[in-house]
Amino acid sequence: MKYYIIAGEASGDLHASNLMRALQERDAHAQFRFWGGDLMAKVAGEDNLVKHYRDLAFMGFAEVLMNLKTILNNIKFCKKDILNYQPDVLILVDYPGFNMRIAEFAKKEKIPVHYYISPQIWAWKENRIHKIKRDVDQMYVILPFEKDFYEKKHHFPVHFVGHPLLDAIADRPVLDLDTFRKEHKLNNKPIIALLPGSRKQEIKKMLEVMLKMVDQFDDFQFVIAGAPSQPKAFYQEFIKNQKVALIENKTYDLLSVAYAALVTSGTATLETALFKVPEVVCYKGNAISYQIGKRLVKNIKYISLVNLILDKEAVTELIQNDFNEKRLEDELYKILDHKNREKIFNNYFELEQKLGGKGASDNTANLIIKVS
């Protein structure tokens, strides 16, 4: 079959690439055309990559408005490209602002629409359920509470396939710490990982405060996880302390050896938890975007996936004005304390139990082929 896949962020690139491999194993004639990133290109070739996600990522209301013309042009181009390719199946991976518009178009063109990783309509824009019911043929959810949300509250059948991060992390080879240290010229001090995000706007806001911790914790070394979408030179603008290291495009390797982490809110908070790394979750967005978002988000007590899934504050969240040097220093000291770490590890074990087992990519691929 011919598959057209749209992923607009780094996490979508990861999960879509694993899904593509699973489809290839089941469909010997699988052909792909896709919007995504380097991981998807490794599976299906650079020639089949339409646009890279680094050219698509705009964060927050203000940023979207500033780049509205580009976004609309991308949507127009995508529709034309889909018609030219004539896929048997359209697979949308998260990225709802863009993908919901493409779903509406594809439905009218009678192209089967499969949505992998649901838009978080349980948090905001719940009225999107009407468009999802109208335009999406099959929905694959990855958070356990989403199935009840869709089926019990909105009477829309969905498939809970498990969380793909469990596969991505479990399938990794064990990393040797000494080898990692030598390769990246690190010393023997325990590592505190800094995950400031993947977009330039958020990295600028987050990294400045995170780096203020370096001189306060001399017994540790700080290592920045460089996002694949950003050049090394961009990070070097912020690194003025020789005690800080930058490791590009190896976030999972870094998390597998980290003692603690400061993490920008997003998928990385869950990834960090699944690597069993105590973390402080951080978020500071554009002031206008934050105020608008705060009024639109309904009945959500937390911003991190860890706390949302467990329905309790398992990890500390420093949001907007709370994300400052003093609070961050206090919370970092707490997650380095042995008694607090034991409690965090117990919460992480509970988190894994709720997410279910491995097999999200295989489960989704089986269902796509079964109904196509």
Q: What is the pLDDT of residues 333-371, one digit of tens each?
A: 999 999 999 999 999 999 998 998 889 999 999 999 999
pLDDT band at residue 278, thresholds of 50, 70 and 90? Answer: very high
Q: Where residue 296 falls among pLDDT bands split at 50, 70, 90?
A: low
Tokens standing for residue 284: 């500071």
117-169 confidence digits (pLDDT tens): 999 999 888 999 999 999 999 999 999 999 999 999 999 999 999 999 998 89
**CB-CB contact of 281 with 318 (8 Å):** yes
In our burial notation (b when 16+ CB lie closer than 10 A, e otherwise), range 8-46 reads: bbbbbbbbbbbbbbbbbeebeebebbbbbbbbbbebbee
pLDDT tens for 19-65 read: 999 999 999 999 999 999 999 999 999 999 999 998 776 555 555 66
Domain at 2-162+358-371, CATH from 3.30.43.10, 3.10.180.10, 3.40.50.2000, 3.30.70.270: 3.40.50.2000
**What's the mean per-residue pLDDT of the chain?**
91
Q: Find out whether 306 and 351 touch, Cβ atoms under 8 Å.
A: yes
pLDDT at residue 105 in the model: 98
CATH 3.40.50.2000 segments of the chain: 2-162+358-371, 170-355
In terms of pLDDT, which residue wins out, 11 or 257? 257
Range 63-73 average pLDDT: 73
Measured CA to CA, the distance from residue 334 to residue 217 in angstroms comes to: 13
**d(C-alpha 279, C-alpha 262), whole Å:** 6
The answer as to CATH 3.40.50.2000 being correct for domain 170-355 is yes
